């Protein structure tokens, strides 16, 4: 019976394919993988694996019904059913058994595209990963490589690809591996080689049996023989059109532990950098993590965390979790700035590179002129030091709009008149002294 239905559905799909009603890729990816599993009381039940397939087929339902009715010899109406539901309805239908143990679904359910906050620091990486899930049989960019510092969402995106494919295209075979596990599996296989036959070949075979190969933290693939295997598998996967996505904590060209022939291949696809999120993105990430518990924390605290810890999202999240945990111990009405600074007080605060203060201006000016801060604040009337001081005043006015009095206080306790005339002198020198003008621009460039 199953064979008959299978043959019947095959010939329906063949006809539809030949008539070219669908784009070739859509047909191969979405429609070809459906199954006709029951015809009962003039209704034909077809199982689909992805909601995209359902949407595509629903648009052409009359076409499927007409073709099937013709092949079947009787008019039938078509009912679309999700694969999982079909399996429950008809447990006797043998669903393809996957013997490849590397294809296990090991994805963290929280690491989804929906839970990933896009911002200018990561939107290209997000878009490329998402696109890779919805392409036809030929990857647009292969390999796709994501690189960037630790804690910026690379693993999250790999898992998002896995989760998405699992839900939307369950027929796609996805292997996800942390590169350290790749090495362990191979070392294990190498050890058992003489007892159970060449299991390295078996591992290779399993690795090749996939449509997506996601390998995390490639910088840890240090073992030489594993690199050899990886090289072979990599080339074959590219040849057969499987999508490879690689992540790395360091720039591909700095992967000094890897053979150069591997590195040059990695950069032949698309390499995308993920950088640290800006203030708004960090704040949105925190809000996402709070998910319905926003009342627990004041907005000011979110600002404080986003300003102080955004160079590593893992750390940012960790601080929020820590505050939430502390709040269960101390029961404050709300986690406000006072509570937050008290409980994170001992933690080092990462200074924002672009947070501009008089202190950072003084530091940049002194570095530019090779002076110390106390030279700047002191009383020396040497021309170079006087000029450096004028620049400090000028930039504090122009960039921070500070009153003369405040600038004076932070610059060797000078009075407001001295600072005002220093500012006027700087404006004058900007017109007359090219070296002074260049110095101002260079320092400003570094600061902003
Ligand atoms: P990496 O692999 O780059 O070291 P991870 O993917 O492990 O970083 O991310 C660390 C943590 O930060 C994870 O909990 C992840 O969910 C979270 N994270 C990172 N970037 C984002 C983002 N843009 N949106 C939401 N969560 C993020
Ligand atoms: Mg990671």
157 C-alpha to ligand 2 centroid (Å): 9
Average pLDDT over residues 140-169: 94
Point out the least confidently predicted range of 13-17, 87-91, 346-350, 394-398. 346-350
Long-range contacts: 120-127, Cβ < 8 Å, 24+? 120/278, 120/281, 121/152, 121/274, 121/275, 121/276, 121/277, 121/278, 121/281, 122/152, 122/153, 122/274, 122/275, 122/277, 122/281, 124/272, 125/153, 125/154, 125/157, 125/272, 125/273, 125/274, 126/157
Q: Is the pLDDT of residue 205 over 70?
A: yes
Is residue 1 a contact partner of residue 94, using CB atoms and an 8 Å limit?
no
Ligand 1 within 6 A of CB of 156: yes
Ligand 1 and 219: CB distance under 6 A? no
Average confidence (pLDDT) over 149-171: 94
pLDDT for residue 383: 86
Tell me if the bond preceding 143 is cis, omega within 30° of 0: yes
Across 296-307, b (16+ Cβ under 10 Å) vs e yields ebbeebbebbbb
Q: Is the pLDDT of residue 198 over 60?
A: no
Give the least confident one: 87-96, 162-171, 283-292, 322-331.
87-96
Ligand 1 binding pocket includes 116 (Cβ within 6 Å): yes
Query: For residue 152, which ligand has an atom nearest its CA?
Result: 1
Please check if 153 is assigned to a binding site: yes
Max CA-CA distance within the chain? Answer: 104
d(CA 446, CA 383): 23
Q: Where are the alpha helices (DSSP H) in 298-382?
A: 299-309, 313-330, 337-344, 358-369, 373-377
d(CA 361, CA 395): 7
**Which residue, judged by its Cα, is nearest atom 26 of ligand 1?**
116
Per-residue confidence at 323, pLDDT binned at 50, 70, 90?
very high
Q: What is the pLDDT of residue 97?
A: 47
Work out the angle at residue 65's Cα, subtended by the Cα atoms of residues 60 and 66, and round it to the nearest 5 degrees. 100
pLDDT tens-digit readout, 378-390: 998 988 899 999 9
Q: Which CATH number fits domain 123-273: 1.10.10.10, 3.40.50.300, 3.90.1150.110, 3.20.20.70?
A: 3.40.50.300
- The reported pLDDT for the residue numbered 408 is 94
Give pLDDT tens digits for 394-421.
999 988 888 899 999 999 999 999 999 9
Judging by DSSP bridges, how do beta strands 35-40 and 43-48 pair with one another? antiparallel
Superfamily (CATH) of domain 4-89: DnaA, N-terminal domain (3.30.300.180)
Q: Is any ligand 1 atom within 6 A of the Cβ of residue 154?
A: yes
**Does ligand 1 lie within 6 Å of residue 155's CB atom?**
yes
Cβ(102) – ligand 1 distance below 6 Å: no
Stretch 422-437: mean pLDDT, rounded? 90
- 84 carries a ligand binding annotation: no
Q: How confident is the model at residue 291 (pLDDT cuts 50, 70, 90)?
A: confident
Give the pLDDT band (50/70/90) at residue 353. Answer: low
State the pTM of this model. Answer: 0.61
Candidates 150, 43, 135, 131; CA nearest to 89 is 43
The pLDDT of residue 362 is above 80: yes
Query: What integer best gives the mean pLDDT of the chain?
Result: 87
pLDDT at residue 99 in the model = 66
For the CA of 116, the closest atom of ligand 1 is: 24
Q: Report pLDDT for 255.
A: 84
**Is the confidence at residue 368, as pLDDT, over 50?**
yes
- Give 43-78 pLDDT, tens digit per residue: 999 998 888 888 889 988 999 999 999 988 888 899
- According to the annotation, is 197 in a ligand binding site? no
Name the DSSP class of 100: -
Where are the domain boundaries for CATH 1.10.8 in the chain?
279-344
Where does the pLDDT of residue 349 fall: very low under 50, low under 70, confident under 90, or very high at 90 and above? very low
Mean pLDDT of the 150-178 span: 94
Report the separation in Å between the CA atom of 317 and the middle of ligand 2, taken as the mean of its atom positions.
15
Average confidence (pLDDT) over 110-123: 95
What is the mean predicted confidence (pLDDT) over 78-93?
A: 77
329 CB neighbour count, 10 Å cutoff = 8
Could you identify the atom of ligand 1 that is nearest to the CA of residue 156?
6
Average pLDDT, integer, range 170-193:
85
Min mean pLDDT across 16-25, 93-102, 131-140, 234-243 is at 93-102
Q: Whose CA is nearest to atom 23 of ligand 1?
A: 117
Position in ligand 1 atom list of the atom nearest CA 277: 23
pLDDT of residue 68: 92
What is the number of residues in the chain?
A: 448
358-447, what's its fold? Chromosomal Replication Initiator Protein Dnaa; Chain: A; (1.10.1750)
Yes or no: say if 294 and 275 are a contact pair by the CB < 8 Å rule.
no
By alpha-carbon position, which residue is closest to atom 25 of ligand 1?
116
Residue whose structure tokens are 């008539």: 19
Best residue among 110, 114, 118, 152 to mutate for probing ligand 1's pocket (most ligand atoms within 8 Å of CB) is 152
CATH 1.10.1750.10 in the chain is located at 358-447
Assess whether pLDDT exceeds 50 at residue 348. Answer: no
Q: What is the mean pLDDT of residues 186-202?
A: 72
Compare 264 and 175 and report the one with higher pLDDT. 175
- Closest atom of ligand 1 to 118 CA is 23
- Tell me, in angstroms, the distance from the centre of ligand 1 to residue 328's CA: 25
Q: Is the pLDDT of residue 351 over 80?
A: no
CA dihedral over 256, 259, 264, 268, signed as positive or negative: negative
Closest CA to 427 of 373, 390, 396: 390
Q: What is the Å distance from ligand 2's center to 29 Cα? A: 29
* Ligand 1 mutation target, pool 159, 277, 314, 321, most atoms within 8 A of CB: 314
364 to each of 40, 375, 413, how far by Cα in Å?
Answer: 80, 13, 20
For residue 91, what pLDDT band results from cuts at 50, 70 and 90? low
Closest residue (by CA) to atom 5 of ligand 1?
153
153 lines ligand 1 (CB under 6 A): yes
Does the structural domain 279-344 have CATH classification 1.10.8? yes
CA pair distance 39, 147, nearest whole angstrom? 51
């Amino acid at each position: 019976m199953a064979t008959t239905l299978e043959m019947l559905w095959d010939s329906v799909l063949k006809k539809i394919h030949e008539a070219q009603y669908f784009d070739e890729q859509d047909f191969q990816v979405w429609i070809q993988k459906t199954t006709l599993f029951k015809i009962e009381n003039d209704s034909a039940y077809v199982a689909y694996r992805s909601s995209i397939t359902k949407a595509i087929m629903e648009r052409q339902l009359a076409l499927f019904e007409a073709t099937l009715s013709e092949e079947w010899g009787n008019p039938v109406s078509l009912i679309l059913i999700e694969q999982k539901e079909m399996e429950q309805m008809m447990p006797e239908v043998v669903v393809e058994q996957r013997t490849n143990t590397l294809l296990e679904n090991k994805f963290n359910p929280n690491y989804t595209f929906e839970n990933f906050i896009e911002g200018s620091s990561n939107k290209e990486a997000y878009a490329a990963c998402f696109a890779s899930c919805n392409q036809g049989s030929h990857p647009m960019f292969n390999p796709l490589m994501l690189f960037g510092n630790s804690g910026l969402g690379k693993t999250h995106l790999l898992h998002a690809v896995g989760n998405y494919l699992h839900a939307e295209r369950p027929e796609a075979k996805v292997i996800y591996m942390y590169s350290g596990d790749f090495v362990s599996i191979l070392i294990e296989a190498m050890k058992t080689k003489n007892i159970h036959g060449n299991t390295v070949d078996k591992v290779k075979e399993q690795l090749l049996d996939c449509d997506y190969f996601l390998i995390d933290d490639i910088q840890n693939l240090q073992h030489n023989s594993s690199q050899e295997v990886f090289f072979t598998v990599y080339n074959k996967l590219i040849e057969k059109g499987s999508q490879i996505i690689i992540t790395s904590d360091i720039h591909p060209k700095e992967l000094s532990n890897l053979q150069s022939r591997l590195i040059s291949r990695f950069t032949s696809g698309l390499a995308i950098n993920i950088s640290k999120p800006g203030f708004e993105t960090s704040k949105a990430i925190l809000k996402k993590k709070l998910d319905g518990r926003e009342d627990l924390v004041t907005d000011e605290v979110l600002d404080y965390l986003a300003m102080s810890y955004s160079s590593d999202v893992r750390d940012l999240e960790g601080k929020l979790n820590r505050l939430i945990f502390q709040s269960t111990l101390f029961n404050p009405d709300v986690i406000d700035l006072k509570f937050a600074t008290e409980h994170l007080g001992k933690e080092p605060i990462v200074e924002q590179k672009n947070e501009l203060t008089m202190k950072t201006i003084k530091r940049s000016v002194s570095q530019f002129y090779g002076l110390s801060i106390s030279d700047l604040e002191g009383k020396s009337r040497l021309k170079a030091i006087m000029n450096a001081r004028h620049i400090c005043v000028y930039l504090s006015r122009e960039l921070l709009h500070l009153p003369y009095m405040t600038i004076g206080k932070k610059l060797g306790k000078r009075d407001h008149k001295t600072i005002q005339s220093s500012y006027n002198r700087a404006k004058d020198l900007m017109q007359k002294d090219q070296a002074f003008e260049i110095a101002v621009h260079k320092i400003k460039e570094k600061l902003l």
